[in-house]
Amino acid sequence: MEQAMDKAKDKIEGEGSYTATADYNKRTAEFLKKDKVEGAAREAATALDGEEGASLKAAEAKGKAGDPKGQGAAKPK
């Protein structure tokens, strides 16, 4: 993965980076093949019910509001 990132630095791809997309897709497929999805889901549920639950839910609401970074950018119509 490090070599792919080094090669990516040599090229300027801008938004919609094909290299980043390919890397994400590869890592996601590897995660799914390891069959760890259920464990991750349980961890997430535990976190939501635990001490950090309120902040996680607030972050989710902020993301769903359409301005997760708080930059006030207008939504595309």
- Each residue's pLDDT, cut to its tens digit, for the chain (77 residues) gives 556 556 555 677 777 788 989 999 999 999 999 888 899 999 999 999 999 999 999 998 988 888 656 666 555 55
Check residue 14 and report its DSSP letter. Answer: -
Domain boundaries, the chain: 2-57
The pTM is what?
0.47
C-alpha distance from residue 23 to each of 1, 4, 15, 74 (Å)? 8, 8, 15, 30
